[in-house]
């Protein structure tokens, strides 16, 4: 399907006394396409037990805005290989590419630069401690602001009112998610704020505080009462109706949870995926130690100094892969990693593709990653 005959509106044969004009078939050697899946390693879902498939893609060809096949029927017939040998920029899901067929082999060229807009989303994590003037300089350049309210730091009513006023001022400038850290020592205020804040232009998340050890200061343990535990497990993330209606820069994604007993739970849509990851964290199920995780392949974390990491949880051991001012020296991750953490405490990283490993697989995969 990498090359095709098609017709274009307005390109027709001349009419005559005996016949009306008809569309003229046009042969396209390179057909525009959209990437559906990418094989980056032997752990990729569409690897198909074939090393030759590394860096191949599954893609849907299209002419104009109409795709030439359905995403639900994509299979080996839609596999394309890099046209050029050597180092190449491997596309990601959703990237535009050019597809062609040469000698019965299907190739892709890309990813394409569409209006100088790369296919990634920028999410900024902040507690809004910087001045409003500072934030206003870059807020229009981010796709989503995720801001956390810390009731143990912002203690007086005046401080709290000012913080929420500042946070809500950005809801018309970018997508806004407010996380309320459900501190058991400030429980009544947090619960009341969660119940009363029903803004149609934001998303709101009640967050369970985990006892995550930190290297920089002594550990403080958080304990919820049985009543607080019961309430917390039943709280739900809120999504404003106006936020759902707007065209989101966050791409659609299909999220599937597979359980040991064979049960599967699938949701389609960026916001539905967000609900699932939020639910996993509130129910204290974000424990993936020993699991295979695509952290660094599906996401990257950049700290306030410009250092690049596989993810937020990889910043505590100085495991930077490079710096944003020296991209030509960055050691881009090329394989998944085995999670060493007791908790995955970043909601965005909970949603990264990960798989529970069998005991026999762990050493084998560790050796392969090394």
Q: Which DSSP helix (H) or strand (E) runs through 178?
A: strand 175-181
Report the predicted TM-score, pTM, of the whole model to 2 decimal places.
0.64
The confidence band for 327, taking pLDDT boundaries of 50, 70 and 90, is: confident
The most confident of 23-32, 170-179, 288-297, by mean pLDDT: 170-179
- What span, in angstroms and rounded, lies between the C-alpha atoms of 126 and 128? 5
Q: What's the pLDDT at 216? A: 43
- Say how many Å lie between the first and final Cα of the chain, rounded: 38
Phi, psi of 36 (to 5 degrees): -100, -35
Residue 333, pLDDT score:
83
The residues near 320 (Cβ < 8 Å, ≥ 6 apart) are 307, 308, 309
Q: Can you tell me the mean pLDDT for 247-260? A: 59
3-state secondary structure of 60: strand
Give yes or no for residue 268 having a pLDDT over 60. no
Contact 293, 299 (CB under 8 A): no
- pLDDT tens profile 5-17: 667 666 666 665 5
140 alpha-carbon distance from chain centroid: 20
The residue ranges of every structural domain in the chain are: 4-109, 120-281, 286-370
Smallest CA-to-CA distance from 349 within 263, 266, 267, 291 is with 291
Of 63, 128, 65, 127, whose CA–CA distance to 98 is shortest? 63
Cα 28 to Cα 42: distance, rounded to the nearest angstrom? 33
- 239, 248 contact by CB (below 8 A): no
189 compared with 2, residue with greater pLDDT: 189
For residue 176, give the DSSP letter: E
Instruction: Pick the most confident of 158-172, 198-212, 283-297, 310-324.
Output: 158-172
| Structure tokens given for 202 | 């934001």
């Amino acid at each position: 399907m990498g090359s095709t005959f098609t017709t274009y509106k307005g390109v027709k044969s001349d009419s005559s006394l005996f016949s009306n004009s008809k569309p003229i078939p046009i042969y396209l050697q390179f057909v525009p396409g959209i990437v559906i899946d990418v094989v980056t390693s032997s752990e990729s879902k569409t690897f198909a037990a074939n090393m030759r498939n590394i860096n191949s893609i599954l893609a849907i060809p299209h002419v104009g805005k109409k795709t030439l096949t359905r995403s639900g029927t994509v299979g080996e017939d839609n596999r394309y290989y890099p046209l050029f040998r050597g180092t190449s920029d491997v596309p990601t899901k959703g990237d535009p590419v050019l597809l062609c067929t040469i000698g019965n082999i299907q190739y892709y060229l890309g990813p394409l630069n569409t209006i100088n807009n790369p296919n990634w989303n920028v999410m900024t994590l902040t507690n809004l401690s910087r001045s409003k003037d500072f934030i206003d300089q870059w807020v229009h350049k981010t796709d989503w602001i995720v801001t956390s309210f810390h009731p143990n730091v912002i203690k007086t009513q005046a401080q709290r009112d000012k913080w929420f006023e500042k946070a809500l001022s950005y809801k018309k400038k970018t997508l806004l998610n407010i996380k309320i850290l459900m501190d058991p020592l400030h429980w009544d205020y947090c619960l009341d704020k969660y119940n009363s804040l029903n803004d149609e232009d934001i998303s709101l998340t009640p967050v369970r505080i985990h006892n995550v050890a930190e290297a920089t200061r002594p550990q403080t343990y958080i304990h919820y009462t049985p009543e607080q535990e019961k309430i917390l497990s039943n709280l739900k993330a809120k999504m404003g109706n106006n936020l759902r209606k707007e065209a989101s820069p966050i791409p659609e994604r299909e999220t599937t949870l597979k359980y040991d007993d064979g049960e599967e739970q699938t949701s389609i849509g960026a916001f539905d995926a967000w609900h699932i990851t939020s639910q996993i964290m509130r129910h204290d199920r974000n424990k993936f130690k020993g699991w295979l995780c695509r952290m660094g392949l599906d996401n990257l974390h950049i700290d306030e100094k410009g250092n690049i990491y596989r993810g937020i949880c990889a910043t505590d051991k100085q495991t930077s892969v490079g710096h944003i001012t020296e991209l030509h020296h960055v050691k881009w991750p090329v394989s998944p990693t085995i999670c060493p953490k007791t908790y995955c405490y970043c909601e965005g990283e909970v949603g990264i593709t990960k798989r529970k490993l069998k005991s026999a697989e762990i050493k084998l995969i560790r050796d392969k990653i090394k």
